[in-house]
Chain A
Amino acid sequence: MSLSSKDLLGIKGMSPEEIRLVLDTAASFKDVSERDIKKVPALRGKTVINLFYEPSTRTRTSFELAGKRLSADVLNISTTTSSVVKGETLLDTARNIEAMKCDVLILRHPCSGAPAFLASRLKSSVINAGDGFHEHPTQALLDLFTIREKLGTIEGRTVAIVGDIAHSRVARSNIYGLTALGARVRVCGPATMIPYGIEQSGVEVFYDADRAVDGVDVIMTLRLQLERQAAGLFPGVREYARLYGLNRDRLSRAGKNAMVMHPGPMNRGVEISSDVADSSSVILDQVTNGVAVRMAIMFLLSGGAKAEAS
């Protein structure tokens, strides 16, 4: 079994089998990260390029480490250091990169669909490292991996995703991944941040966070972009924290041993209280697992599927 596409653009469209393949493969790569020598030669001689049009130290570092642990040559290009700032088009930039014989292109971009745009025009494998409000598939895969690792199974679990669903690619990818693997998903946030028609993706919508987390196995809190206040999506941070912030009290309504996840970076005291973040969350496990999942993705994409595409 292998992935059906040369690219990873989103979780939507991946079959449950493909998702499980990635998670199973990631388990092997997690072992590698726990050895003294955290490196395997699987991608020796391959070139991986991180092309980041948005600043994200965390995701970029995770991909970089994943690539290096696979022995690939990893290059980082970010908006501040490249010709991107000179107004070169995305396609021109990408074609230039491809001319350098890049095998895997990892793209973070503020526009939804930018990875799909490149994937259809390049021979390299394109990995979506987050595009606009569309998807952030590797984040969802590492979240799924972490849930499976901690709870054993995903099927039948109830997961509450709390926050700005409308502007969250993490929420979308997780909704697709969790529902594909048989979890029940609740989304919760101010009505201004619940996007049109989200219930069509098989989730239950809540505006009341206390009810949303009631009895759940997993709570994912999303980072609140504070600039959304200026756009009129919420009246103020204090009220947001009171209505949707995850604190001890609210957490106590969730199932016993409920997992608390956050894609980072956190606004402490806003969407998550410090005591919950520090004592009840698996946030650091998510970071560790991120490297293993990204290794698995790069490994799976750099093999078979690409040979078929060319």
Chain B
Amino acid sequence: MNILIKNGHVVDPANKVDEKLDILISGNRIAGIGKPGSIGSEGAQVMDASGKVVVPGLIDMHVHLREPGYEYKENIATGTAAAKAGGFTSLCCMPNTNPVNDTGSVTEFILSQAAKSGSARVYPVGAVTKGSKGEELAEMGELHGSGCVAVSDDGRPVMNGAIMRRAMEYSKIFGIPVLSHCEDANLSAKGVMNEGALSTELGLRGIPSAAEDSMTARDIFLAELTGCRLHLCHVSTKGAVALIREAKARGLAVTAETCPHYFTLTDEAVRGYNTMAKMNPPLRTAEDVQAIKEGLRDGTIDVIATDHAPHGMDEKTVEFEYAPFGIVGLETALGLSLRLVQEGVLSLTDLVRKMSLNPAVILKINRGTLSSGAEADITIIDPDLEWTVDAAVFKSRSRNTPFDGWKLKGRAVQTIMGGRV
């Protein structure tokens, strides 16, 4: 079946497109793209995209889908449904499931579940070390062979520098990036929020910025030593942004992501012991938020990902120290990121680059463009639609968000994956 998306404002950074165009989808592919009215629409379902922005399907390269093992928080069906609702057509799922995705069989299980019930494409990330214990390398060859597009021990850092070095070296065999959760666990210790005047006031153990900065520095030096493609997850500090900027200036193959909460909220959101504002890395200061925005603006930070981390309401309705880290993000990420465009931090093109093209390039997956002949993964965004976040209607199985009740402007109104609406 054919679909003609008419009169949309098409933003496709890969092809330097930023204008009003029509797109014809034939089957699962993009069959043509051209000036409004230039493509015949006989027999095609016409989708009027006037006033809308048409972009390559969004890609979230940092999601915790929780299946296998923690299906009460999320499963592949609900997680990908949330992705679709949020405008994402592809996502990477982190390996900290139970069992950890450190063998081909787990990867294959995830892929088969995704094929059965997925509303978005799922690209598994394999573990760096067996059981993500940080001791012995996982069999990356098998993981890669089974479909993993990257490796990571996300959820925790690879504390041993020698192991990280070997992991970076070994990953080069397969040309896959190492996604690093940068945290010196000795420095963060039992910390539960950003270390600062507020943690002192609230009497909560702090996680200093230095816990992230020092590990970011280590990994950058290891990337230099090994020539590995290093991708830094969820950058939250001013210090890390500066380190990455400097690494890029030296020509290292380092890329980085941040998450909407790190450029939207500060540690003040924790006040009142709000467990919905508890995540790792923690929400930082206004100065860090500023630095993150600057890093996004000047290209130091390549990617906006969600670190979607679903948790049950019972798990979050406890003492702050006992609550798990993490928030859901798939259904709020686009609305929050569009604020950057509204504030003038990013152009629409740059936003699409960071939410679609760049992740595709880093992961070497053939997505993130609207080229003729490409898979028809397309997100249609209404940039003017004002809406209120209502966690109760999330497609995700979990509702742990600090943004419930927020008024946002702009959201995905149509998510097309492989030509399917």
Contact = CB atoms under 8 A, between A and B. Distances in A.
Interface of A: 12, 89-91, 109, 111-114, 116-117, 131-135, 166, 169, 172, 195-198, 200-201
B196 A196 contact: yes
B314 A112 contact: no
Most chain A CB within a 10 A radius of its CB, from B195, B203, B318, B322: B203
A196 B201 CA distance: 9
Interface centre among B195, B198, B204, by most A CB within 10 Å? B204
Contacts of B206: 196
B50 interface: no
B273 interface: yes
B317 A91 contact: yes
B196 A90 contact: no
B318 A90 contact: yes
B22 to A, nearest CB: 54
A133 B199 CA distance: 10
20 contacts: A89-B317, A90-B318, A90-B319, A112-B202, A112-B320, A112-B321, A113-B273, A113-B319, A113-B320, A114-B319, A117-B273, A117-B318, A117-B320, A132-B203, A134-B203, A195-B199, A196-B199, A197-B200, A198-B200, A201-B200
A114 B275 CA distance: 12
List the 4 closest A-B pairs by CB distance, nearest first. Answer: A197-B197, A134-B203, A113-B273, A133-B203
Contacts of A200: 197
Interface string B312-332: 001001111110000000000
B43 interface: no
Given A197-B197, A200-B197, A116 B321 contact: no
A132 B204 contact: yes
Given A111-B319, A197-B197, A201-B200, 16 more contacts: A89-B314, A89-B317, A90-B319, A111-B320, A112-B321, A113-B202, A113-B203, A113-B273, A116-B272, A116-B273, A117-B319, A134-B204, A172-B203, A196-B197, A196-B199, A198-B200
A198 B199 CA distance: 10
Interface in B269-307: 272-273
Nearest to A197: B197
A266 B153 CA distance: 45
Contacts of B203: 112-113, 131-135, 169, 172
B contact residues, range? 20 to 34
Contacts of A198: 197, 200
Contacts of A112: 202-204, 273, 320-321
Interface string B28-63: 000000000000000000000000000000000000
Contacts of B198: 197
A66 B200 CA distance: 31
Contacts of A109: 319
A89 B320 CA distance: 13
B270 to A, nearest CB: 9
A131 B272 CA distance: 14
B402 to A, nearest CB: 16
Nearest to A120: B272
A197 B202 CA distance: 12
B268 to A, nearest CB: 13
Contacts of A134: 202-204
A111 B278 CA distance: 15
Contacts of B272: 116
B302 to A, nearest CB: 31
Residue from B196, B199, B320 whose CB has the most chain A CB atoms within 10 Å: B320
Interface string B180-215: 000000000000000111111111111000000000
B196 to A, nearest CB: 6
Contacts of A113: 202-204, 273, 319-320
A132 B321 contact: yes
Contacts of A132: 203-204, 321
A169 B318 CA distance: 20
A109 B200 CA distance: 18
Given A111-B320, A196-B195, A201 B204 contact: no
A109 B314 CA distance: 19
B197 A111 contact: no
A91 B195 CA distance: 27
Contacts of B317: 89, 91
Contacts of A195: 199-200
B320 to A, nearest CB: 5
Nearest to A169: B203
B198 to A, nearest CB: 8
Contacts of B199: 195-196
A283 B2 CA distance: 85
